[in-house]
């Protein structure tokens, strides 16, 4: 399993953005609605997993490094 690369704030933001996109996309229907709902679902899945493939490909991580005790 891949290491988490999403910080808590990033996961919360993705959740709050993903839910309305899924709901609005479901009500709109058509190809645009499906695309909108798919983007929302992708945000929800990455938030739940704590891992984003695009971040991995770009070498980005919003998760803070664990502090080392002396």
DSSP string, the chain: -PPP---HHHHHHHHHHHHHHHHHHHHH-HHHHHHHHHHHHHHHHHHHHT--HHHHHHT---SPPPPPP-
Task: Give CA–CA dist 51/7, Å, rounded.
Answer: 9
Residue 67 pLDDT = 61
Encode the chain (70 residues) as per-residue pLDDT tens digits: 578 889 999 999 999 999 999 999 999 989 999 999 999 999 999 999 999 999 989 988 888 876 655 5
Residue ranges of the domains in the chain?
8-54
């Amino acid at each position: 399993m891949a290491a988490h690369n999403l910080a808590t704030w990033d996961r919360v933001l993705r959740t709050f953005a993903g839910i309305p996109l899924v709901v609005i996309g479901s009500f709109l229907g058509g190809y645009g609605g499906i695309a909108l709902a798919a983007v929302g679902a992708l945000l929800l899945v990455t938030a739940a997993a704590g891992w984003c493939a695009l971040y991995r490909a770009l070498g980005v991580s919003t998760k803070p490094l664990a502090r080392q005790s002396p």
